[in-house]
Amino acid sequence: MLAVHLVSFFFSKLQEDPTKKVDRFLHAMRLQDDQLIDISKRFLAEMKKGLSAESTAAAAVKMLPTHVRSTPDGSEKGQFLALDLGGSKFKVLRVKVREDVGIRKGGVEMEEKIYPIPKELHVGRAAELFDHVSESLKDFLHEKNIGLETRHPLAFTFSFPCEHPSLDQGLLVSWCKNYKIRGLQGKDVVQALRQSIGRAGDMDVEILAMVGDTVATMMTCGFDDQCCEVGLIIGTGTNACYMEELRHIDLVEGDEGRMCVNTEWGAFGDDGALDDHITEFDRDVDAASLNPGKQIFEKMISGMYLGELVRLVVLKMAKLGLLFDGRVSDALRTKGKITTADVAAMEEYRNGLNNTRDILTHLHLDPSPEDCIAVQHVSTIVSFRSSNLVAAGLAAILTRIGQNRNVRGLRITVGVDGTVYKTHPQYPKRLHKVVRRLLPECQVRFVLSESGSSKGAALVAAVAQRLTSQRRKVDEALSLFTLNQQQLQLVKSRMREGLEAGLKSKGCSVKMLPSFVYHTPDGTEYGKYLALDLGGTNFRAMLVRFKRQKSRLYHKIYTIPLEIMQGTGEELFDHLAQCVCDFLDYMGLKKARLPAGFTFSFPCEQSGVDTGTLLSWTKGFKATDCEGQDVVSMLREAIKRRNEFDLDIVALLNDTVGTMMSCAYEDPQCEIGMIAGTGSNLCYMEQLKNIEKLKEGSGITRTDTEALEREDDEDVVTEKSFLEAGKSKMCINTEWGGLGDDRCLDDIITPYDAEVDIHSVNPGKQRFEKLTSGMYLGEIVRQVLLDLTRRGLLFKGNVTETLKTAGIFETKYLSQIESDRLALLQVRSILQHLGLRGTCDDSIVVKEVCGAVSRRAAQLCGAGMAAVVDKIREDRRLERLSITVGVDGALYKLHPHFSQVLKETVKVMAPQCDVTFLPSEEGSGKGAALIAAVVRQKQEM
């Protein structure tokens, strides 16, 4: 009975579908999606390992930087020579690249000649190989009548693993593809080529770039599809490259922009990472190769090994009696008798089985129809595994790019070349399908490289040439914003002259307005004080309580409607009185007559601490019948008209003075206030005797000034003697934004600054402020970007309506774009929000423009500050001055680099001064209350 069952089982197996027995035999090669996802994750981990300086030495996947920093954008042009060396033959080409202009699409024209490489040169000396290459190049130049009147740029495709210290250097890592040439490993391949060209003579060429075939493929496809950021080779060998964020490539200095990384993924698995997927046939192929234990991933994928894998499987099955009735021919036992071309032929859609029978017959086998079906299925499984593994590796690369961009729905193009991809009838379709299955959220387009790696090498050179030219022109434009020490010293000197002139007389560009604030807080202030703050589209009312060197603040913010800002003066001040009334009612203080300080951040000329004549409106205010009027009187009259409350307005000040007072309450050494925000200004405590324009009266008696002058008879005037003199100092509101109104800054003003000034509401006025304040920096940047775009150096020369719109580039964007934490893709996002669609390279330039403009602003403020602190030090006859500056304003507080550049400049420009910068926490409102407290305290003494 048992014998009957065995016979039955045997005959059932004979009748079995031939593909089923192959499936069972090669089950380890049939990879499921969960296995592919796992392989993809392993490869992603290897990529990170190769990019890190700490682990790259131990990484199997080397992740070699190529120094190719940009893909084509269509503006490349020029004529190039190209050499393509990577197999048994090499090519010399002349490549003409035509720019993409208007309706005429860019294009590439090529002439080429193929030269054989004798087999003995594959294993000879490096000098012999490159002498042969150089002589062939020389022959090509003569044949094509390419003259030597000008130097010819040359691009070199060298399809062997190399480390690239720069774009025109390549240190050979190892030979492959049956090359074993002596004397070049670890050395610069480009230098070897240069030397051989020199030996050949009569050629004037400049080698601009050396790349591998993978990078060249990406560049070739990138010329026609600018979404192409991945290159893939599936041919005799296999490899992939992609554009990586430079900040992740530890082996290259710098963190701005991107660079193409050559993964050299063929070595994936050399460290055992794929051991659980390696079959006995893979081990046999590896053992018989020229480099056992190396290029494991490549040996499972590439065209050099697919045919051999099929042969070994078929041989094993035949020996086990699963094929050809157990018969094995000598040809089947011979290495290399089944090629990758045979694999492709066996899998042809219509003629595959016939081709399989012919191939097996040629191997002196007598296959049955079932044998042909089984062998064809072996071929399918081996090639399918190859495409699956490529898909897993590619999925890892695309995942990496998506992570860099912080997007899930990636849209990208992959440029592909290689004989397996091009000639295998099923391979591309299988690969595409599996990639899309592994990454369903990605839109991946595959583009076949039509012109091979030679065109790509020329495009690398063309891109490098374009970037070099653009870099030079951008640098020239931005050099206008670079201030050397001599120029900064000149600004400091002119600021000092402006300060001195403004103290002597009225009508100077640096106005030096007296504030009639004689004292900073001493910490003894106490009680309740009201602070009112008008400096823009909002009005703030505050109640500040001082007690035991501590303060508490309560406030409400009120909007100033546009119709009030631009109505009558009476309407404006009635609105302010209404806001104050509401606040007092809210605080339950309507019946109390509180002392108040009024921060009024518009240019005023004061004749006392509680009076001030408005010189001119700024910041969009146009209320009538106010200029030339005392704003304190106008507020008092509005309060009277309302007749619901009363205030004792004891002080009028601007935001700069308020900032100084607020910080002086925290630090007694604070005697300077600075605003670096929408506007730019500075105040400081000046010696009363130096304010010559006040000596004729205006609130200061002649007795006061004569008493101070008598102190000059002493050899040294100490700070103590000043304090003993009572009113020895007064806070001066410099209004330093007017420096340059007399054209003393014309030698540092750029055409971009001039354009901003012409289109401002006050042409020719506030020139220093227009170089340094937040109201104007964004507009300066816009003017630079507009000029660079018109010159074709940005945004492909596309001047959008947005870019032509004044004020669209707000200064807040400078702070965001220059943030060290902000990746360039986020910079692109900001630009897209403004309607400016640019490349990563455009983002780099925009960031550099923002940096140049903001750095100059900070340096100018630093030079101005240096003039002030040095003046204070010299006036006090001190060897060294220690002083604190109270600072407020969004530019200082929010810009990532402004404050640091400011501090560094002051340190260099005023080396005998120790300057501490103290950000104001409560702004000018608390300062207004403090002035009211100081004034009231002095009145009560």
Residues with a catalytic annotation lie at: 540, 601, 655
- Give the residue among 898, 877, 901 at the shortest CA–CA distance from 889: 898
Distance, CA of 611 to CA of 213 (rounded, Å): 78
Distance, CA of 18 to CA of 14 (rounded, Å): 9
Q: How many other β-carbons are positioned within 10 Å of the β-carbon of residue 229?
A: 25
Determine contact, residues 52/123, Cβ cutoff 8 Å: no
Distance, CA of 299 to CA of 387 (rounded, Å): 13
Beta bridge partners of 434: none
Pairing of strands 670-676, 881-888: parallel
- Three-state SS string across 523-583, please? CCCCEEEEEEEECCCEEEEEEEEEECCEEEEEEEEEECCHHHHCCEHHHHHHHHHHHHHHH
- Provide the residue type at 611 as one letter: T
Element (H, E) at 851: helix 840-875
Determine contact, residues 872/882, Cβ cutoff 8 Å: no
Pairing of strands 171-172, 527-534: unpaired
Distance, CA of 230 to CA of 58 (rounded, Å): 25
Pairing of strands 258-262, 238-245: antiparallel
Distance, CA of 825 to CA of 698 (rounded, Å): 59
- Provide the residue type at 553 as one letter: L
- Provide the residue type at 769 as one letter: E
Distance, CA of 901 to CA of 171 (rounded, Å): 40
Four-residue CA torsion sign, 29, 30, 33, 35: negative
Phi, psi (degrees; rounded to nearest 5) at 99: -70, 150
Cα separations in angstroms, 575 against 45, 564, 570, 610: 65, 8, 8, 21
- Give the residue among 600, 729, 580 at the shortest CA–CA distance from 653: 600
Q: How many other β-carbons are positioned within 10 Å of the β-carbon of residue 496?
A: 18
Phi, psi (degrees; rounded to nearest 5) at 402: -60, -40
- Give the residue among 693, 624, 599, 625 at the shortest CA–CA distance from 924: 599
Distance of CA 331 to the CA centre of its chain: 60
Cα separations in angstroms, 823 against 128, 248, 264, 467, 820: 47, 11, 26, 21, 8
Helix (H) and strand (E) counts in the chain: 32, 26
Beta bridge partners of 916: 884
Q: How many other β-carbons are positioned within 10 Å of the β-carbon of residue 548?
A: 8
